[in-house]
Amino acid sequence: MRKFILFIAFAFLFYSCDFNDEDDQELSTPLAICLDGLAISKASGESYKCQNYDLIGMVSLETMNATSANDSWGWTDPSTGKEYALIGLDNGTGFIDISDPLKPIYLGKLPTQTISTIWRDLKVYNNHVYIVADFKTSTPEIDKNHGVQVFDLTRLISVVNPPQTFTNDYLYLEHGEAHNIAINEESGYAYAVGTNTYSGGVHAIDLTNPTKPVLAGGFADAGYTHDAQVVTYKGPDLDYIGKEIYVGSNEDKVVILDVSDKKNIKIISEVEYSKTQYTHQGWFTNDQSFFIVGDELDEFNKEVNNTRSIIFDFNDLENPKVHFEFVNSTDAIDHNGYVHKNKFYLASYTAGLRIIDVSNIVEKSMSEIGYFDTYNEKEDSGSSILSDSNRPNYSQDEDHDNPKKGGAAAFNGAWSVYPYFKSENIIISDINSGLFIVKKQN
């Protein structure tokens, strides 16, 4: 009898271990493996077009109690190495622990400072996130009262009962609405753009004390900036080594400014390109020799047939010029794009994330080497979430972010991407679905 009991106990233990191993194996594999051009989610059964990239994890809009998503960025806790995704939502900013990307944990939300909006942008500096929002309402006081929300990201480490509702650590109110915010982590300055100050141009903010930012200066003469990148220059133009260089996507041109002295900002140069519709956003290559720009309306307005990126030669900052244009096989609208090492990661709305090799950019050659299309076409109800009633009045282009009826060139799908995590996990914010975590296949 004793031997029989021991046998039963051993058999139960063996079965339990085997079962748990299967469970662990299930949790250690991606949510959807890209196979033959398609990734099918084990959780939802949804299918996504793909090449060379798997879907690791996902957090839905429903989980975050939001209607739409917009911008995204990332933060790594320097004390633990844990990675966190930060995602802009219509009603606030969501925080997700993705240290185990197979089981992302939605930690909670910092609610919007005023009202819901489809435009929210954020950047990180010194373990704090700085959040702006853009809107035009019939109540000017609402527009003026958003400013920059400041949140200490180290508070996320101690969350024990998620999700939580968070509060600001500080609210900067030297401007109201803003379309975007750029941060030069080397200098410790932020640059709010598209604000109700300085004609929507440069609004420089000193982040020396991260929870008490102060106005450092501004500049209106170059006009309205939709988005910008600001760097401490290390590129090929010896005249500007060590200077703080601001590159603004200014609706119908790209402007290059020297913002080293916030009280005496200077225009270095401006450059235009053919078939300009709305100069939206751009990013330097690693060596700062080239700058890759997206025009948000050239596909929409049928000025070009396929997704176009304009590559500028910035070897001489005083004489920038168009190097060449990269035209992809997709016909979707390009939105936010970022360079990491020798790859350009482009959030291309209804074509999802596109990964483009830029290692031969000097020879005027770029090629797509992978993608993950977060957009599910059945979501397209015939119009964009960017409707005429909730878009801002941009200073020049009254058609920017207009609604688009069903089709590839529509304002749905992938809004932004963050490719800078050490783990090489990539986060994508999708307007219609929420947060996607993808990774290149081994």
- Give pLDDT tens digits for 70-87: 999 999 999 999 999 999
CB atoms closer than 10 angstroms to residue 248: 30
Q: What is the average pLDDT value for the chain, to the nearest integer?
A: 89
Residue written as token pair 């096989």: 329
Indicate whether 382 pLDDT > 70. no
CATH C-level class of 31-440: mainly beta
Within 174-243, strands assigned E span: 180-184, 189-193, 202-206, 214-219, 227-232
Q: DSSP state, 298? A: T
pLDDT for residue 421 is more than 50: yes
Q: Which residue has the higher pLDDT, 167 or 1?
A: 167
Which amino acid makes up residue 276?
Answer: T
- Residue range 267-321, pLDDT digits in tens: 999 999 999 999 999 999 999 999 999 999 999 999 999 999 999 999 999 999 9
pTM: 0.90
Q: Are 208 and 184 in contact (CB under 8 A)?
A: no
pLDDT at 394: 39
pLDDT at 233 over 60: yes
DSSP structure class, residue 302? T
Gap between the Cα atoms of 242 and 330, Å rounded: 38
**pLDDT at position 140, please?**
67
Task: Give the model confidence (pLDDT) of 106-138 as tens digits.
Answer: 999 999 999 999 999 999 999 999 999 998 766
Residues 6+ apart with CB under 8 A from 183: 123, 124, 125, 130, 189, 190, 191, 207, 230
pLDDT for residue 387 is more than 80:
no
pLDDT of residue 407: 46
The pairing of beta strand 47-51 with beta strand 38-40: antiparallel
How far apart CA 277 and CA 309 sit, in angstroms, is 13
Inform me whether the pLDDT recorded for 395 exceeds 50: no
Domain boundaries, the chain: 31-440
pLDDT at 336 over 70: yes
Q: Which residues contact 1 (CB under 8 A, 6 or more apart)?
A: none
Q: Is the pLDDT of residue 402 over 50?
A: no
Alpha helices in 235-372 (DSSP H): none
pLDDT at 360 over 90: yes
Supply the pLDDT for residue 138: 60
Whether 251 has a pLDDT exceeding 50, the answer reads: yes
User: Which SS3 state, helix, strand or coil, does residue 124 take?
Assistant: strand
Q: What is the DSSP letter of 251?
A: B
- Give the 3-state secondary structure of residue 140: helix
- Cis peptide before 163, with omega less than 30 degrees from 0? yes
Measured torsion, CA atoms of residues 29, 33, 39, 41, in degrees rounded to the nearest 10: -10
User: What is the pLDDT at residue 8?
Assistant: 42
